[in-house]
Chain A
């Protein structure tokens, strides 16, 4: 079934009263079993579960070590264009803001790629704003082709494409797609994204299915934490994950849990997520989805990232600049505030010190395409 329809089916489900009904013995039973069900996951997000944060953390750490070992995969994002036609109220790249717009030329993309490649990083994530007129599909596939000279694995985090568009990206060497629904609640989604191409909720929601149909090797999905009640959003995200796992079992799936840090002055975060609640969310995902990768962004501070490392994290960004051209040129407007500005070298050193192996090479798109 299409995911949009599946999500509709849960509209009548009263999550709040379900969460209120969870008692300590429910949590104990969930923590004692091997297979966590669709409704066990939100139970782990209940207030009752907060009392079990330590056993949840212990369980999450054990699962992570067994499933992934002591390994953290690293990647670096590369912003190539910040032209945008959207009006996302929390984003400093929205077209309503009068900021310096930049668009890297092929030569500039090479310079940035070279600079990042020189650090030893082999996984790159290309990012653009949503402007199919400026950052056209061709512009993006050209950027991918350029990046193949510097990186073994290329991901994209761009506006949602048609199935054909994803097919062209995969053929050019893209092996992973990152796309956040931003907010799963459809009403709030429309409130936050009025006008602009992003207004099409369903087109974005079903983008991962279109990419998987085109054989993308790995996929990261997520919701921006802070825009709406995190339990409701996490529940929808978990349903999405399960849908992907059931429909596309061969795809390597990760989930990303970004607590957003807007740089937009007149936007107050509606539902901020505390550190404690964040740990609850992270460990609940790990317990419910043992095989799924979990990405933590540089929006979290260095100290906090170090502390949550053993609790389920498998992927992190390092050496990050969220400005277009930020690796080789004078910085322009950044998309969001980075709380962890460690270089790749510093990150590797800190990970080793904490007992983790930093991995900057885990995939080569050449393993799958004819190049």
Chain B
């Protein structure tokens, strides 16, 4: 069965998107990406030397991957738009992850500015994936603005706390017609599996792999957990209940009359 994730009309085989920051050594990135088998790689434009692109982290990213530059460092919509355009000019393609953060303590996104940047960049022909606080009204506006996906956080960036915003994400999964990708907060493979079981379309994570003792093994673990969660979602898990349900019911003796 073909179960590709479709973003902006493009089929994506892997539902794991990972990043490239926080590693001890950039040379390990290639191995991690191979183990994770991801098709989309996110990278902060602030880490690509605009004057010397050959001498950057881009060298460690294998051919054939979709590059998803992010606007890390942007504090408002104007800065995000500017960074997105510089990313395109630097040869990073048309995909952009909008990250507008104006609180360095919690690194939570500014939905209002994110929406403004999305509107502008969609008009400019970008495939826009906005990182957002999980909130239905903004998510709907992002869909209207032409976003290619919405990317709510599960918990603040780098915290590894898991799906703290679970109820809100469930609502987005139910209500939003474009892909919902949980971005940030996923700390363990079990968190990723849980999100996928709920019907989330993909997971973007970085710290959980990069800060693990063995990033390559952890990348594999996440790949498998995300697949398991996806299969479970497609299979349709049984309903949960508080009380036990006996497999030999008490009214089994009754016959249809």
**A, B bound:** yes
Chain B at the A interface: mostly helix, strand, loop or mixed?
A: loop
What A residues does B159 contact at CB under 8 A?
A: 66
Asked if B25 and A366 make an inter-chain contact with CB atoms under 8 angstroms apart, the answer reads no
Asked if A65 and B211 make an inter-chain contact with CB atoms under 8 angstroms apart, the answer reads yes
Interface size on A, residues (CB 8 A): 29
- One digit per residue, 1 when the CB lies within 8 angstroms of any chain B CB and 0 when it does not, for chain A 45-76 equals 00000000000000000000111111100000
Q: Which of B59-96 contact A (CB under 8 A)?
A: 73-75, 79, 82-83, 86
CB of B227 to closest CB in A, whole Å: 26
Asked if A355 and B158 make an inter-chain contact with CB atoms under 8 angstroms apart, the answer reads no
* Of listed B45, B47, B160, residue having the most chain A CB within 10 A: B47
Cβ of A139 within 8 Å of any chain B Cβ, yes or no, is no
Asked if B102 and A352 make an inter-chain contact with CB atoms under 8 angstroms apart, the answer reads no
Asked if A368 and B49 make an inter-chain contact with CB atoms under 8 angstroms apart, the answer reads no
Cβ of B112 within 8 Å of any chain A Cβ, yes or no, is no
- Stretch touching chain A among B31-39, B103-111, B192-200: B103-111
What B residues does A152 contact at CB under 8 A?
A: 49-51
What A residues does B210 contact at CB under 8 A?
A: 69-70
Asked if B50 and A366 make an inter-chain contact with CB atoms under 8 angstroms apart, the answer reads yes
CB of B214 to closest CB in A, whole Å: 13
Cβ of A214 within 8 Å of any chain B Cβ, yes or no, is no
What B residues does A355 contact at CB under 8 A?
A: 24
CB of B26 to closest CB in A, whole Å: 7
CB of A349 to closest CB in B, whole Å: 12
Complex Cα–Cα for A356 and B106 (A)? 24
Complex Cα–Cα for A217 and B207 (A)? 24
Asked if B103 and A71 make an inter-chain contact with CB atoms under 8 angstroms apart, the answer reads no
Cβ of A361 within 8 Å of any chain B Cβ, yes or no, is yes
Chain B: which residue is nearest A244 at the CB level?
A: B104
Asked if B105 and A245 make an inter-chain contact with CB atoms under 8 angstroms apart, the answer reads yes
Cβ of B13 within 8 Å of any chain A Cβ, yes or no, is no
* Known contacts A66-B160, A361-B47; is-contact A250 B26 (Cβ 8 Å): no
Interface size on B, residues (CB 8 A): 33
Complex Cα–Cα for A359 and B25 (A)? 10
Asked if A357 and B73 make an inter-chain contact with CB atoms under 8 angstroms apart, the answer reads no
Asked if A69 and B56 make an inter-chain contact with CB atoms under 8 angstroms apart, the answer reads no
CB of B56 to closest CB in A, whole Å: 7
Chain A: which residue is nearest B160 at the CB level?
A: A66
Complex Cα–Cα for A355 and B159 (A)? 22
Asked if A362 and B46 make an inter-chain contact with CB atoms under 8 angstroms apart, the answer reads yes
Cβ of A364 within 8 Å of any chain B Cβ, yes or no, is yes
Chain B: which residue is nearest A358 at the CB level?
A: B25
CB of A160 to closest CB in B, whole Å: 23
Asked if A69 and B23 make an inter-chain contact with CB atoms under 8 angstroms apart, the answer reads yes
What A residues does B160 contact at CB under 8 A?
A: 66
Asked if B23 and A70 make an inter-chain contact with CB atoms under 8 angstroms apart, the answer reads yes
CB of A21 to closest CB in B, whole Å: 29
* Known contacts A69-B23, A367-B82; is-contact A249 B105 (Cβ 8 Å): yes
Complex Cα–Cα for A251 and B158 (A)? 19
Asked if A122 and B49 make an inter-chain contact with CB atoms under 8 angstroms apart, the answer reads yes
Q: Using CB atoms and an 8 Å cutoff, list the residues of chain A in contact with chain B.
A: 65-71, 122, 152, 217, 245, 249-253, 291, 352, 355-357, 359, 361-364, 366-368
**Known pairs A245-B105, A362-B46. 4 more at Cβ < 8 A?**
A69-B23, A70-B23, A250-B101, A367-B74
The 26 sampled A-B contact pairs (Cβ below 8 Å) are: A65-B211, A66-B160, A66-B211, A67-B158, A69-B22, A69-B207, A69-B211, A70-B24, A70-B210, A71-B22, A71-B23, A245-B105, A249-B103, A250-B75, A250-B101, A250-B104, A253-B104, A352-B24, A352-B25, A357-B23, A361-B49, A361-B56, A363-B46, A367-B74, A368-B79, A368-B82
Q: Which 5 A-B pairs have the closest CB atoms?
A: A69-B22, A250-B102, A70-B24, A249-B103, A250-B75
